[in-house]
Structure 1
Amino acid sequence: MWKHVVANALTLLIVGFIMLAGVVALGQRSFHGEGPLEQAICLRVEQGATLRAVAEDLGEQGAVSSPMLFRVGAQYDGRHERLRFGSYLVPERASMEQILDIVTRGGASTCGTEVVFRIGVTAVNYEVRELDPATSRFVETVELPLETAEFPAEYTQVAEQADTRFRIVVAEGTTSWQIWNALENAEFLSGSVGEVPPEGHLMPDGYEVRRGADRGELLALMQERQEAFLAQAWENRVEGLPFETAQEALILASIVEKETGVAEERRVVASVFINRLGVPMRLQTDPTVIYGITRGEGVLGRGLRRSELNADTPYNTYRIDGLPPTPIANPGRAAIEAVLDPEETEYLYFVADGTGGHAFATTLAEHNENVARWRQIEAGQ
């Protein structure tokens, strides 16, 4: 009889082990397999949130089939105490393992709300944007000028959240003073900006920062990036250019940046100025004259006067030979590359063509015809 009881117990134990193994295998498949989420979501992990709270939230949003299994898997994996607060994009069909990696990896938030601080040539704005998980596109909710005296709740509620991303976007062609002034007045930054950096030596780019980031360190990073890129581009320059230094290339790149916003034209516009330097012929470009008047501190806001075009100043390229003494703005990567690898042309002239681009010419007679056409377009407008 005892043998029979022992045999039954042993049989039940074996069956129990088999069932347990099956349950474990099923749990592993569920934890590592494709999840039930039909559309991407933005998951917010609050500071100090527990694993249970996050798991329940995932269950309510349909991202996991079993909050309990998610918790058990996280504990088995050893990452149950590594939650990182923030807002995270959870893609459709993400497995529990993938979601656990997302919320424990750390780093910058990947969705939710961000503040974009745009430093442009004519304006500086704060933008509050929110990512739509369904389309992976940002939707703008608030836009405010730099000069805002009192920030509305729609801005402050977002800006004061610990996980809000701040992205500073600097446009090509902005001057060092414009960038310096914008950062000095950005409400979410701290520290001193120091002196205005040398013209042309700040990289127009996007910079992701945290609230309270140091202004001086940010300017130093912009300068480091620009100078590193210029040095690399200078090393890769084509032969036969009329420059003796990388600084001279930077000066011309800033002129090209201000003369055209059409990407496909940069190397052609660069070729015009390089051809003029090789003739030699004066550069005769309005943006340098304007910089001589404003020194980069804002926009002129009007046309040039005849007296200004005739004035003897270091930046009046209608009156001086060669390049002005400094850059007139901060050129982007494409403009720098354009002057160090220009298109091979014989063009010496260009004028607006009414489409946003320019008409190019080799001879003065051709140029005069292009100018006449442009005058007709202007009159029609």
Structure 2
Amino acid sequence: MSERPPISPRSPRAALEPEQVPPPPRRSERARNPLVVIGNAIFTILILLMIGAGVSYYYGKQILESAGPLREDRIVNIPARAGKRDISDVLQKEGVINVNPWIFIGSVYALKASSDLKPGEYLFQKHASLRDVIGTIVEGKVVQHAITIPEGLTSEQIVARLSENDIFSGSVREIPREGTLLPETYKFPRGTTREQVIQRMQQTQKRVLAEIWERRNPDIPVKSPEALVTLASIVEKETGRADERSRVAAVFTNRIRQKIKLQSDPTIIYGLVGGKGTLGRPIKRSEITAPSPYNTYVIEGLPPGPISNPGRASLEATANPARTRDLFFVADGTGGHTFTETYDAHQKNVAKLRAMEKQIQNDTVEPAEEAQQPAAAGAPPAAADGSPTAGTRPPAAKRPARPPAPAAPAQAPARQGAAQSTGTPPVVQR
């Protein structure tokens, strides 16, 4: 057992003094190197930045992907030349987002979309997140507005419809040539110019006409695509029923083959009013026999051009008419038509229709004061028999037949189609 070293005696004063701790060892020369100090500082800063980035990423992801405030789908228009702050204000005003503008701007930069925000009209889905909102604007998938152009309108009427529609901009320099626009349902974004709409309708018409002309029956007596459009425009104005178009087309093609005048009322009306489309009154007797390039009671064959813009169905029906020998058709009183091959059979059908109309007229007795009341607003003008005037495809419009009987005095109103029943011989036997 080793002996402890002897403890040297301390004076009472020395015993009261604290014991001295040895100084810490001096840092090595390497630790005191400035490069090491700077490196440690940089490392510390990097650690702090990584922690900050992680926290920012977490909260940024929450902001970008959290459900937005929209309670239902909403269409919002982002104006042209709007800055990021302006876009943020519009979205906030419309209730699409509920974040600070600087957060929106920061999110745009975070998604690398600062130069890709496109103006336009956008549909934002219910509860769309901020990421979805920015993505929608970046993709530029603007709202497409559907516009339907009815078959049988003239080019002037179509331009008038486009002018009344406020989703389009600009004006149309000139009325397109009749028959060069295809009536159909189109979709356009807000702000599309009216000239662009016209150009698209013309391009579509050219494409569709080329396809139909390629598939036409080679036996039809129509020798050019332009003539096909002209005949189809007459078919379009004569019937609005899909199941009758090819048969009406057959009547006209049979008449052309046999060199019989087409005798179509809509051609007379077009010759009188042109692109305005509607006459607003019954055709007069004098107008049926008046010379006109469009009066198919006077001229042989087709008029010089289309009288409307026919739709795809009428073009197809005219290119491939029904295989019949019909030469006449007349309203059957139920919205359709009766077709016949001979004039005698046609006359019998006309007599049936007149008898039906006479019975309806006898059964319908209106008080004089009611008869004097003006027509309902927006209703088309009516002929003497109460049927709409031509231009609205009346179910009882006059149909191809033999040449008209001698005309009455020049200003006497002619019958508005086979539906007319007055007891006097019809102007044109339908």
> Please, what TM-score do these two structures have when normalized by structure 2?
0.57
Partner of 2:28: none
Match of 2:235 among 256, 274, 277: 256
Partner of 2:180: 201
Instruction: Determine whether 1:189 maps to 2:170.
Output: yes
8 Å CA contact retained: 2:73, 2:126:
yes
Instruction: Determine whether 1:79 maps to 2:116.
Output: no
Partner of 2:24: none
Name stretches of at least 5 consecutive residues in structure 1 with no aligned partner: 1-9, 115-137, 139-166
Question: For residues 301-316 of structure 1, what are the structure 2 equivalents within 5 Å?
Answer: 301-316=280-295
8 Å CA contact retained: 1:183, 1:189:
no
- CA shift digits 1:296-318 (9 cap, x unpaired): 45532222233333345443333
Partner of 1:142: none
Partner of 1:271: 250
> Please, what TM-score do these two structures have when normalized by structure 1?
0.63
Q: Whole-Å Cα distance in 2 between the matches of residues 65 and 219 of structure 1? A: 41
Q: Whole-Å Cα distance in 1 between the matches of residues 98 and 163 of structure 2? A: 50
Instruction: Determine whether 1:173 maps to 2:206.
Output: no
Relative to structure 1, is the Cα distance of residues 62 and 213 closer, same or farther in structure 2, using a 3 angstrom cutoff? closer
8 Å CA contact retained: 1:192, 1:214:
no
Give the drift of 1:327. 1.8
Q: Whole-Å Cα distance in 2 between the matches of residues 29 and 368 of structure 1? A: 81
8 Å CA contact retained: 1:31, 1:70:
no
8 Å CA contact retained: 2:74, 2:125:
yes
Number of residue pairs matched by the alignment = 319
Give the drift of 1:256. 0.8
Give the drift of 1:62. 5.8
Q: Whole-Å Cα distance in 2 between the matches of residues 314 and 14 of structure 1? A: 90
Relative to structure 1, is the Cα distance of residues 88 and 354 closer, same or farther in structure 2, using a 3 angstrom cutoff? farther
Match of 2:212 among 233, 248, 258: 233
- Larger strand fraction of residues: 1
8 Å CA contact retained: 2:77, 2:121:
yes
Partner of 1:101: 135
Secondary structure class of the residue paired with 2:338: strand
Relative to structure 1, is the Cα distance of residues 77 and 170 closer, same or farther in structure 2, using a 3 angstrom cutoff? same
- CA shift digits 1:239-292 (9 cap, x unpaired): 422222112211111101111223443233223323333455432221122223
Relative to structure 1, is the Cα distance of residues 15 and 374 closer, same or farther in structure 2, using a 3 angstrom cutoff? farther
Partner of 1:359: 338
Secondary structure class of the residue paired with 2:283: coil
Question: For residues 335-350 of structure 1, what are the structure 2 equivalents within 5 Å?
Answer: 335-350=314-329
Relative to structure 1, is the Cα distance of residues 345 and 212 closer, same or farther in structure 2, using a 3 angstrom cutoff? closer
Secondary structure class of the residue paired with 1:100: helix
Give the drift of 1:351. 2.2
Q: Whole-Å Cα distance in 2 between the matches of residues 327 and 53 of structure 1? A: 50
8 Å CA contact retained: 1:34, 1:95:
yes
Q: Whole-Å Cα distance in 2 between the matches of residues 224 and 74 of structure 1? A: 39
Q: Whole-Å Cα distance in 2 between the matches of residues 57 and 307 of structure 1? A: 63
Secondary structure class of the residue paired with 1:201: coil
Partner of 1:375: 354
Partner of 2:224: 245
Relative to structure 1, is the Cα distance of residues 33 and 240 closer, same or farther in structure 2, using a 3 angstrom cutoff? farther
Name stretches of at least 5 consecutive residues in structure 2 with no aligned partner: 1-42, 362-430
Greater relative CO, 1 or 2 (CA 8 Å, sep 6+): 2
RMSD: 4.7
Identity %: 38
Secondary structure class of the residue paired with 2:240: coil
8 Å CA contact retained: 2:121, 2:190:
no
